[in-house]
Structure 1
Amino acid sequence: MHMKRNGIGRMKTRLVLPGLTASVHDHRLSLFLGVMSACMLAGGASAFAQVSSLQANDSLFNQFNQTSSPGASGSSALEPAMVGSDPNGASAPPPVAAPSPRKKSSTVSGQTPVFFNADHLIYDRDGSLVSPEGHVEAWQDDHVLRADKVTYDRNTNVAAASGNVVLLEPDGEVLFSDYAELSQGMKDGVMKNMRALLKFNGRLVANGMRRTDGKVNDMSRVLYTTCNLCLDDPKKPPFWQIRAFTGTQDLEEKKIEYQDAVMEIYGIPVLYLPYMSHPDPSVRRKSGFMVPGIGQSGYLGVFARVPYYLVIDDSSDVTLTATLPSQTGPQLQAYYRKKFNSGDMQINVAAAYVASSSRTDSNAYYDPIRPGFQGLIFAKGEFVYDDTWRYGFNLNNATSAAYLRDYHISGVGTNVLSNNIYLEGFGQGSYTRLNAMSYQGISGSFANSTVPYVLPHYIYEYAGQPDSLGGHFSLRTDDFSVLREQGVSDQRASLSLNWDRPAIGRFGDLWKFTLHGDTVAYNATGLNQQPVYAPYTSTTDARALPQAAVEVRVPLARTAGQWGTQVVEPIAQLIVAPNTGGGGYRYFPNEDSLVTQFTDANLFSLNRFNGLDRMEGGIRANVGLHASWKYKTTMLDGLVGQSYRTHRDDTFMPGLGLSDRASDIVGRVSLSGIGYDLTTRGRFDHKSGRIHYGEAVASFGPSWLRASVGYLYTAENNFYDLTYAPGTVLPASTPVYQLVTTPRNEAMLGLSTHYEHWRFSAYARRNLEAEQMVALGGDIAYENECFILAMRLYKRYTSILNDTGNETIMFSLTFKTLGSFGFRAF
């Protein structure tokens, strides 16, 4: 060994010191510190070199950008610390985390050994200094320290690291520094020109930092952002940053606090706060006040919404939101969420005091809105019992539709609120569901006394495997009990059996033989009221409809070389069943077949009604021609067809084109390719060719600029007459339905674009028959790795009772990892 008496020498041989063993292996030195009390990072007296006269240095961001890993900023789509949406549409808490195993502490125990790697070791016997140099790397537990040089003072137990200092923490945080002094097992120390790379692209910079007991980092001249620096000019300030005189990073509470903080946009101060704080980016959930929102409406006046987020435990949380309007009473809302091992549950309750009401409408015909307390409860949950069964519930109730509209609560766009509790089972080829439902009318066009209770509704379906004849057997039962205070109350039991046998002929023709039977039994009262208005008040009856059908398709295909492939497929179907017309259907309730439409989609259906309360019978033939042409990336596909029957069927409403022996003609054409899609369908009078129903939807353009158009036309609208007051008993001659001869003629136009960080969309819907707009809206958004700007405008022109339409304007700013701020006007 060669060394200077009072200086520093370079080790050339093996050196043994008390508690320290060092060996030289070529150009790399490995050290094992076996006795922590005698080594660099052991507990003991601390001596720190004070970092003073620290001045704010924006160039630290430039250094940080050069030293940090390029991939560390990859989470550009991160939402703010409080993410998601609550039923108010305000900022909502993040997803609730399920309970997880306890993480390892980020502090070092001081009892585990420290391992070193270095190119060289310099030892000063007189000064008691040990100095690993060159690519120094030290690790203890999950802590890693890297530097060009580390000098350890054995007398003070303080280690000084200099030159490209990097400290990797167990939670993923990475600290960069020009110079650092550490002690107490890396739990205490100071850093000069500190740069920290946090989770989700968080970047924290300070001229100086002191760490105390591994729990608190006190910083001076602080900058924080989640934005990337400009690659062309890294000296330019980021999109936004927080600049503060001092700051504190609480590692236990996972919170960062600032004193004398200024929010800057592109280096321009826009907001000063004497104090501010936000959760550490590594925290997904943290109790505290969220960023408030403000707005304005004609009923509420100017209002503020102040949310407070409370973490209850690892699997539950609640958001409390106070709405403070200037023109009426306040509202308090609580949104609770809970995760279980078997499922999850959400409960949203709200209450408001309406000081006065300018509304004259009601949530039912005879339930006007009066000043006083208003409220709501929305709740849902779903739970898995085992691999076969699951169950859940949905609860939605409010005191009035006006309350939902006035306070702009979700659900305002619906006519009714629904409630149900259900049990579902999934077996091999089978499905079952037991359901109980109730509804609340929240529009003046619905009387709550006529809205049904379904107690219960039972469905069972089974599909079997192929049998010895090559057929498939299936069955379905759909049973329910419907109760109304005023109107039809009925109980139904049904059973549908079906057997299909496919076959392929000698010439490639495709056959399908079907045997089908429906049996339905009823017990009903109040048939002379809505929605049936039958000539009798009650019935207990049953009916059955057996059907036999055969269908044949003959696909004819050819390849036309460079012109692609063409397919022409004639289709014919014959159905034999007893007649169901003659008005006998009026003696039975109608709960599931109120609305139907004859199109190409149900041309070959055995029953064109949506349910079993109305059935299509008789001997009938359905014919059609299907054709397609595939040329390179373009596909043209079409279908045209018609139905014929041996008798007239007045079961169908007028205007559907199915009552005569020859039905209307239905057809569809679709064209698709790269960058465009077009589908149009229609129904035409079989005698005059006049269009009774038509729709077209098209979209075209590249992904960054997409346009869509739509069109809908119906010559008449069929609906069951609900304009009579509840309890009205009508004579037998009253029609079951009314035919509205005013055509429905609407057009829709939409446009969406996406270019780099910008997104834009707009749409318009117009009633061409009435020559007035139905709805108009659009939104624009900008999003980068650290910021979201979103604006939305919506205007509804339609009227519902005394609600003559509304306008909604929304504006929000999101600073990722900090929070969102928004404004609403409606």
Structure 2
Amino acid sequence: MAATRRRAAIAAALMVGLMSSTALAQQQPTPPSSGAAAAPAPTQAAPPQAAPKKDQPPVLLEADQVDTDNELGITTATGNVQLSQGGHVVLADTISYSERSNVITASGHVVMIQPDGEVMFGDYAELTEDQKQAFVDQSRMLLQDNSRLAGYQAERIDGRYTRVTRGTYSPCKLCEDDPTRPPTWQIRAKQVTHDNTSHDIYFRDATIEVAGVPITYLPAFSMPDPTVDRRSGFLTPTIGYNTNLGMFARVKYYYDISPDKDLLFDLLPSANDGLLLGTKYRQRFTNGYLELQGAATYTQNPQASSTGTISPTELRGWVQGIGRFDIDDSWRWGFDLNRVTDNNFLLRYNYSAEQLLTSRLYTEHFAGRDYFNAGIYGFQDLRPSNTLEEPVALPLITYSALGEPGDTLGGRWSFDAQYLDLWREQGVRSRRASQVAGWQGDYTNSLGMVTTVNALLRTDAYAIGNLKDAANGGPRDDFTRFRVFPQGQIMTRLPFVREDGTVSEMIEPIVAFTAAPNYHNSRDLPNEDSEDIEFDSTNLFRLSRYPGVDLLDGGQRVTYGVRAGVYGNGGGSSTLFFGQSYRLQHNTDFAVNSGLYSRQSDYVGRLELTPSPWMDVSYGFRLDPTSGAQRMHDFTGSFGPSIFRVSGSYLYINKLELQNGTTADTTANLQEVSGGVTSSFLKYYTVGLSTRYNLAEGGGPVSTSLTTTYQDDCYTFSLIMERDYAQRVGLASGNRIYFRMIFNKLGTFVSPAFTGTSH
């Protein structure tokens, strides 16, 4: 019989929606219970009006052939049947409609597409005209996030619930070579129910399997469906044991207050420290955002004293906050709050490894190339070796402006101003007002020689209080100082470039002359920002080699160097820089071993090799100009393809001896080495080994770790073994072994850690 196309008005639809989330949900309305699911007989469906309701959208039926049995009241469509109504689409080999029972029956390669994008497949389906009742045999579903849910049978109940019997859920892709193999992980359940109103998915008698192997059984649990972005509920808990806390559990509850704000509760009961309470609050505004976080516990706080280690019981805690708020298009204000009661709190309770905490309250203004900032700053140093009182900046005001290129004598002007008031309860009170007016011009001649001219005028005014007298150690009277410091520099570089096949070769000599008054820094002025001098290739040509502004780099000097490089068309490159400076006067302001103490500076250089993706090397060095002795080595590198890649680093800096015999920050040379090996020996497997060792006098091993990871599109498993050799009062170092599993769409599980002290 020749195929014909006809259209007929038939009510149709079916839909199914289901799960996806990363957190377990809270109790939700309980779906109707049921025993073994059975296909509802067509006679059980309450027959509605035979004619479609006026408020229902029109129905479109397309098929190769449509036959009607007027005596039985059954219309049958066969061959490439497509039934659509209001975004609902049913595809099948055969679809029949009974006018007496108002039941639609579909068979053969049944596909039902919902308006939200979810798709259900089956061998046979029955659904009522009002779309509230449906049955699908051998159901398979593709959810909005491409997760899959398959089951023996699926039922649609009252237009709200979809219940799957003997269901299997997984967000993982099936193996292309063998689709019958179990996915990386899946959930098998006796019954899976989707509540389309509350957008929850319920599992009953569920087993979580990894690679087809059951790993845990849950009698009942629920999770939000893929339409839910976030939902109140308990996050995956952590249970473990370590030397510091003993046996502990960490429970987090997420509370979704509204679309613009949420709250996280963090409870950590432990055998050694009792109960820790933490919270985190976040909120978005039309003009900014706010984050507040904190934790507190009342427990012992081990700390060093003159008589040994004491452990008073006291309130220990931490608070952190971030706020950013726009005032208008060019002004905004904000704050950062980060304070803790003791040095070990953040590490002990696994909040942060930060060693220097900064708090500030500020406002700032943006206008073209101009910038203004005014703020109050506070600092907290958690390093146990630091006993100095940290100052508070009350306030720090900064202004910066930059002119248009070429507007002023062929160059551009700049202006920077700053006011800083450092307050200490017992130490030096320092106030500084500074301004720097500068100009820079770049000129290129016909030979390709590039000349850069810099000129600046710096003025500083200091007001100093509570400074100790160097002679008797007593306090000095408050005093003021004013200084004017002009400085200029002419730098010329001439790059020579040659093309050689697929590579470009470049060699560039550089010469600069820097001139300023032969200024000697006064010991009356406190040095707040220039104690740590790191002289290397990055600051060789800078006007000031000091990191801050309290010390001035005066006198006249000639700086020279050469840069060479080879650059491949495929992206690989190798570069080398080597240089030195020569000062016309002797300046004893620099530390003896800083590399700048003598008129002839140390040689500095850097070699960078990146010929291909399998090699990346950076080596910086500083050598004594007379003896060639090592002053600084800084090496980092990685070698090899992803199947076996070796990385390492080495750092050596000799100690800084100041002219008066004291030392800055360190009393011994810094010397440290670290190395690691990673291997992606199979498609989804990676192994990594790393170690860190302090080579300085009195040093030793610092840390070692071994990590084995499996990671695919929907599951990550990591086995971590760590050893920490650090000695801290109140914190035990030692070994730790644990594993972590990340289930895509479900959550993260961290195993209890097996620990043991190393000393």
**Which range, TM-score by smaller chain?**
0.7 to 0.9
* Amino acid in the other structure paired with 1:437: Y
TM value normalised by structure 1: 0.81
Matches for 1:524-563 after TM superposition, within 5 Å: 524-528=464-468, 536=476, 538-559=478-499, 561-562=500-501
Give the Å deviation of 1:139: 2.1
Q: Could you tell me whether the CA contact under 8 Å between 2:375 and 2:396 is conserved in 1?
A: yes
Spell out, residue by residue over 1:256-280, the C-alpha distance to the aligned partner (whole angstroms, 9 max, x if none): 1122222333433333322222222
**Match in the other structure for 1:761:** 688
**Correspondence 1:510 to 2:436:** no
Q: State how far apart, in whole Å, the 2-side matches of 1:136 and 1:322 are.
A: 57
Q: State how far apart, in whole Å, the 1-side matches of 2:469 and 2:320 are.
A: 32
* Amino acid in the other structure paired with 1:377: V
**Match in the other structure for 2:348:** 406
Q: Give the 3-state SS of the residue equivalent to 1:285 in structure 2.
A: coil
Q: Give the 3-state SS of the residue equivalent to 2:303 in structure 1.
A: coil
Q: State how far apart, in whole Å, the 1-side matches of 2:554 and 2:691 are.
A: 42
Give the Å deviation of 1:718: 5.7
Structure 1 residue corresponding to 2:581, chosen from 639, 643, 646: 643
State which drifts further: 627-636 or 120-129.
627-636
Matches for 1:426-825 after TM superposition, within 5 Å: 426-447=366-387, 450-465=389-404, 466-528=406-468, 536=476, 538-559=478-499, 561-562=500-501, 564-581=503-520, 584-630=521-567, 634-674=572-612, 675-717=614-656, 737-738=663-664, 742-754=668-680, 755-770=682-697, 772-801=700-729, 803=731, 805-825=733-753
**Correspondence 1:378 to 2:320:** yes
Spell out, residue by residue over 1:228-277, the C-alpha distance to the aligned partner (whole angstroms, 9 max, x if none): 33333333333332222222111122221122222333433333322222
Q: Give the 3-state SS of the residue equivalent to 2:457 in structure 1.
A: strand
Q: Could you tell me whether the CA contact under 8 Å between 1:40 and 1:154 is conserved in 2?
A: no
Q: State how far apart, in whole Å, the 1-side matches of 2:719 and 2:366 are.
A: 44
Q: State how far apart, in whole Å, the 2-side matches of 1:598 and 1:420 are.
A: 30
Gaps of 5+ in 1: 1-9, 13-25, 34-38, 43-47, 49-67, 69-74, 84-107, 720-732
Give the Å deviation of 1:454: 1.2
Q: Could you tell me whether the CA contact under 8 Å between 1:757 and 1:784 is conserved in 2?
A: yes
Aligned CA distance change for structure 1 residues 571 and 233 (closer, same or farther; 3 Å): closer
Give the Å deviation of 1:597: 1.2
Spell out, residue by residue over 1:482-513, the C-alpha distance to the aligned partner (whole angstroms, 9 max, x if none): 11112122221111111112112343222122
Q: State how far apart, in whole Å, the 2-side matches of 1:366 and 1:496 are.
A: 51
Q: State how far apart, in whole Å, the 2-side matches of 1:660 and 1:29 are.
A: 98
Q: State how far apart, in whole Å, the 1-side matches of 2:360 and 2:309 are.
A: 24
Spell out, residue by residue over 1:765-810, the C-alpha distance to the aligned partner (whole angstroms, 9 max, x if none): 2123346212222323212233211233333323345656454444
Give the Å deviation of 1:147: 1.7
Aligned CA distance change for structure 1 residues 473 and 807 (closer, same or farther; 3 Å): farther
Between the aligned residues of both structures, percent identity stands at 32
Q: Give the 3-state SS of the residue equivalent to 2:522 in structure 1.
A: helix
Q: Could you tell me whether the CA contact under 8 Å between 2:169 and 2:188 is conserved in 1?
A: yes
**Correspondence 1:28 to 2:2:** no
Aligned CA distance change for structure 1 residues 640 and 228 (closer, same or farther; 3 Å): closer
Give the Å deviation of 1:301: 0.6
Q: State how far apart, in whole Å, the 2-side matches of 1:119 and 1:240 are.
A: 42
Q: Give the 3-state SS of the residue equivalent to 1:745 in structure 2.
A: strand
Give the Å deviation of 1:473: 0.8
Q: Give the 3-state SS of the residue equivalent to 1:653 in structure 2.
A: coil
Q: State how far apart, in whole Å, the 1-side matches of 2:488 and 2:177 are.
A: 75
Q: Give the 3-state SS of the residue equivalent to 1:461 in structure 2.
A: strand
**Match in the other structure for 2:31:** none
Q: State how far apart, in whole Å, the 1-side matches of 2:610 and 2:264 are.
A: 47
Q: State how far apart, in whole Å, the 1-side matches of 2:604 and 2:537 are.
A: 6
Q: Could you tell me whether the CA contact under 8 Å between 2:200 and 2:223 is conserved in 1?
A: yes
Provide the aligned length of Structure 1 versus Structure 2: 718
Aligned CA distance change for structure 1 residues 385 and 793 (closer, same or farther; 3 Å): farther
Q: Could you tell me whether the CA contact under 8 Å between 1:681 and 1:695 is conserved in 2?
A: yes
Q: State how far apart, in whole Å, the 1-side matches of 2:181 and 2:491 are.
A: 73
Q: State how far apart, in whole Å, the 1-side matches of 2:308 and 2:453 are.
A: 55
Q: Could you tell me whether the CA contact under 8 Å between 1:671 and 1:678 is conserved in 2?
A: yes
State which drifts further: 792-801 or 239-248.
792-801
Aligned CA distance change for structure 1 residues 502 and 367 (closer, same or farther; 3 Å): farther
Give the Å deviation of 1:187: 2.6
**Correspondence 1:226 to 2:166:** no
Spell out, residue by residue over 1:92-111, the C-alpha distance to the aligned partner (whole angstroms, 9 max, x if none): xxxxxxxxxxxxxxxx9962
* Amino acid in the other structure paired with 2:537: D
Q: Could you tell me whether the CA contact under 8 Å between 2:24 and 2:221 is conserved in 1?
A: no
Spell out, residue by residue over 1:745-776, the C-alpha distance to the aligned partner (whole angstroms, 9 max, x if none): 22221223334222333321212334621222
Q: Give the 3-state SS of the residue equivalent to 1:28 in structure 2.
A: coil
Spell out, residue by residue over 1:618-643, the C-alpha distance to the aligned partner (whole angstroms, 9 max, x if none): 11111222222346655332222221
Q: Could you tell me whether the CA contact under 8 Å between 1:369 and 1:402 is conserved in 2?
A: no
Give the Å deviation of 1:447: 4.8
Structure 1 residue corresponding to 2:228, chosen from 271, 283, 299: 283
C-alpha root-mean-square deviation of aligned residues, in Å? Answer: 3.2
Q: State how far apart, in whole Å, the 2-side matches of 1:703 and 1:519 are.
A: 54
Give the Å deviation of 1:604: 0.8
Aligned CA distance change for structure 1 residues 135 and 215 (closer, same or farther; 3 Å): same
* Amino acid in the other structure paired with 1:625: V
**Match in the other structure for 1:52:** none
Aligned CA distance change for structure 1 residues 736 and 82 (closer, same or farther; 3 Å): farther
**Match in the other structure for 1:40:** 11
Q: State how far apart, in whole Å, the 1-side matches of 2:307 and 2:131 are.
A: 73
Give the Å deviation of 1:609: 0.7
**Match in the other structure for 2:71:** 126
Give the Å deviation of 1:673: 0.7
Q: State how far apart, in whole Å, the 2-side matches of 1:193 and 1:707 are.
A: 51
State which drifts further: 375-384 or 736-745.
736-745
Q: State how far apart, in whole Å, the 2-side matches of 1:567 and 1:823 are.
A: 55
Aligned CA distance change for structure 1 residues 611 and 227 (closer, same or farther; 3 Å): same
* Amino acid in the other structure paired with 1:614: L
Structure 2 residue corresponding to 1:420, chosen from 357, 360, 365: 360
Give the Å deviation of 1:462: 1.6
Runs (4 or more) in structure 1 with deviation over 6 Å come to: 364-368, 733-736
State which drifts further: 641-650 or 794-803.
794-803
Q: Could you tell me whether the CA contact under 8 Å between 1:716 and 1:742 is conserved in 2?
A: yes
Q: Could you tell me whether the CA contact under 8 Å between 1:41 and 1:158 is conserved in 2?
A: no
Q: State how far apart, in whole Å, the 1-side matches of 2:238 and 2:657 are.
A: 45
